[in-house]
Amino acid sequence: MRKFMLLFRRISASTWLRLALSLVLLIVMMMQVVGKINIPFLQRIERNAYDVHVKASMINGIDDRIVIADIDETSLQAIGHWPWRRDVMAEVVDTLFKHYKINALGFDSTFPEVTTSDAVAVLEKLSQGPLSENADFIAARDGMMDKLKYDEMFAKAIRNRKVVLGYVFNPSDEVPLNTLSHAFADLPNDLHKQLPIPQPAGYTANIPILHQNALSAGFFDNPELDEDGIFRRIALVQEYDGKLYPSLALALTSMAMGGVDIDVDVRQADDGFLSIAGVKLGDYSIPVDAHGAVYVPYRGKSFSFPYFSISELLKRDIPIEKLKGKIVLMGTTAAGLQDMRSTPVESPYPGVEVHANAIAGLLDGRILHMPDYMVAVEAILMLLIWLIATLLFPRLSVVVGTMSAAILIVAVISLRSYLWSSGIVMPVTAAVLLIVSLFVLNVVFGYLQEAHTKRILARQFGQYVPPELVAEMAESPGQITMEGQARELTVLFSDVRGFTSLSEKVPPKELSALMNQLLTPLTQVIHKQRGTIDKYMGDAIMAFWGAPLEDLKHARNALFAAMQMQEEIARVNIDFAKKKWPEISIGIGLNTGVMSVGNMGSQFRMAYTVLGDAVNLGSRLEGLTKLYGVSIIVSESTKNAIADVAFREIDRVRVKGKDTPVTIYEPLGLADRIDPELKQRVVKFVNAMTHYRSQHWDVAESRLAELQKEEPEQGLYHLYLERITFYRKNPPPPDWDGVFTHQTK
């Protein structure tokens, strides 16, 4: 418990805020999924995403199992305006069944009014007048009346044939017109209006004589029309007055399959909620959503089924094999009859072809639906997304995070495609938007946190390191600390030689400008080589490498900074000469070792600095540069940490305050760029030093004298010649190790 509390306390306020906001996003999306809130733009995006998927998955091609008997402009011109006389409708039915031998016929229209001929009224009037006793007239009248009873002719044509009439339910108008029949199920009293399926207020049905003679009928209105007016889903069943009625597509499919039974599976959840689990078409259970609806499985754009003009059908100009055994839907493409719809694949789109697509899907078992459990699936998916994103995104860079978000989105879309191929529609907009929102949230928080971290690091380290290193430190702030710690670092000390005499030659006002012009480029060199400025001590600079940002090449970077500082001094002296300032030179000492680094000082002032014996040795080495006549001296530990630089061993010494001897070196430059003559002089110097440490004074003196002739400006040779003179008069002990002990700093 204690460990948990400690871990709890270590979580920053910004992390808690990020977590809280991501949780708010999750809750909002969850509420949208379960229907507690309605976010219109999410629904629009989801509908558009569905439309794109429909277009991408269309089969295309012509399905000739279903034929459209088209009330087109040609038919209207040949037969007359719609609606046609019922005797014409009878002729159409007879032609389709007798001549073309079709399987089944469905009407995407309704016939709600009784039709009569004006001639009937005239004959009736004559029958009641002076011709009432005329036997010839009465016989002629009866023959003519049979030919003028158009509704009866139409009813006779559809009698005992596989014909499905169409009708419409009215969602709000409670006035029923004519009589409904052909319900496929009576609901028990306790289920009346308990199922979440459309429950219209009224209807407009066909006249009784047609209903009584038709084997079946189905509604062709669409209560599941989306808010944007696009036909994506259609209801297969509706409930009216405790009875269930089939859609035109469902009824016609049943008829075409030989009049198989239609039924529903009612499911009751643990909480008592009732829904339709499936609509049965014989042995085939059609998967539907909780409202008894399915998505229309559009196979392609309009005219994905054969269309034949009714005027041509009546002329019997169409080959019989084009319609024989087919399912025929009678509908219209005539613009004036206004049966054009908006669909995901095209707009306008013939309304009759919407039914044709549904029938084809029912025949093939290729029905798309959104099961009621999809809400739970989507909620679980978003919870998983939230967990993955919350754990993953804060730890990733923007580039990797973008790739991870893209992978998550692709995974969600792939899951949707997999389920789609199984006939299940899974919403993806909320899940994808959650991924994008969480990613953006983490990017924004990352940016703000990085900016905050940079401000803190800049405030803490801006006086020590360049902005480039501060930016790099901000990428891994957890590795940066102001607390004291022991680390292997490389320290550099530089000092202006003869500064006291130099200050006497330059007026005080100019001395300040001189020091600024000197220290600025030297500081720039240190920063360029990833160094940390510790402090300025008058004319001296103290810097170190390897902290606060870890640097595996701290020794090499420090040495290259030292060499470039000497190069910079040469350029500075050119500018000084123009201002008639004295020429200057600096000595630099470098040492590598374990040091204590961190924020140190008092309650009044703190400084990020390094302490320890390794630091003191670096200061001592800088002090030896003038004595040995070299510009840079490094310790053995620094030299051993750098592989590609050539060095010349200068001496073995004990510096003031240390008993352990140290071998010191002068860097000569990159090993592969050393001048051959310099290499020869180094070899000669090593030979001279070997004799020197063996107390072979004459040989050592001879070798050094030769070197001095070759390189008279090198003070190192003169130093050893003086020592040889001294040791001749004051011989060291026989076991002398060649180490020279310095008594001053």
The pLDDT > 90 percentage for the chain reads: 52
Could you tell me if 51 and 58 are in contact, meaning their C-beta atoms sit under 8 angstroms apart? no
pLDDT for 642 equals: 96
pLDDT digits (tens, 9 = 90+) for 582-618: 889 999 999 999 999 887 766 566 677 889 999 999 9
Q: Is 593 in contact with 614 (CB distance < 8 Å)? A: yes
Each residue's pLDDT tens digit, 206-239: 999 999 999 999 999 999 988 889 999 999 999 9
Q: What is the mean pLDDT of the chain?
A: 86
* Token duo for residue 132: 């009432």
Residue 683, Cβ density class (10 Å: 0-12 exposed, 13-18 middle, ≥19 buried): exposed
| CATH 3.30.70.1230 domain position(s) in the chain | 487-674
Confidence at residue 653, expressed as pLDDT on a 0 to 100 scale: 92
Q: Which amino acid is at 663?
A: T
- pLDDT tens-digit readout, 427-456: 888 889 888 888 888 877 766 666 555 555
Comparing 638 with 5, the larger pLDDT belongs to: 638
Residue 166: pLDDT band with limits 50, 70, 90:
very high
How far is it, in rounded angstroms, from Cα 537 to Cα 630? Answer: 22
For 487-674, CATH gives 3.30.70.1230
Higher-scoring residue by pLDDT: 142, 88: 88
pTM of the model: 0.63
Can you tell me whether residue 380 is helix, strand or coil?
Answer: helix
Higher-pLDDT residue of 9 and 233 is 233
Return the pLDDT at 6.
43
For the cut 50, the answer to whether the pLDDT of residue 252 exceeds it is yes
| Encoded amino acid at 414, one letter | S
Q: What integer pLDDT is reported at residue 198 of this predicted model? A: 93
pLDDT in tens, 525-563: 998 998 988 888 888 999 999 888 788 999 999 999 999
Q: Between these two residues, 458 and 204, which has the higher pLDDT value?
A: 204
> In the Cβ-directed half-sphere of 310, how many Cα atoms lie within 13 Å?
27
**For 276-292, what is the mean pLDDT?**
88
Q: What is the pLDDT of residues 361-390, one digit of tens each?
A: 999 988 888 887 888 888 899 899 889 888
Position 611 scores a pLDDT of: 92
Tokens (6 digits) for 53: 């998927």
Mean pLDDT of 326-335: 93
Please indicate whether residue 743 or residue 404 has the higher confidence score (pLDDT). 404
Buried b (16+ CB within 10 A) or exposed e, 327-363: bbbbbbbbeebebbbebbbbeebbbbbbbbbbbbbbb
What per-residue confidence (pLDDT) applies to 388? 87
Reported as a single tens digit per residue, the pLDDT across 307-330 is 999 999 999 999 999 999 999 999
Are 592 and 614 in contact, with CB atoms under 8 Å apart? yes
Higher local confidence (pLDDT), 270 or 171: 171
Overall average pLDDT of the 414-427 stretch: 90
CB 537 within 8 A of CB 547: no
For strands 163-170 and 216-219, give the pairing: parallel
Task: Please tell me the predicted confidence (pLDDT) of residue 405.
Answer: 87
Structure tokens of 570? Answer: 């040469």
- For residue 701, the one-letter residue type is E
Check residue 129 and give its pLDDT.
63
pLDDT at 241: 92
List, for residues 95-113, the tens digit of each pLDDT value.
999 999 999 999 999 999 9
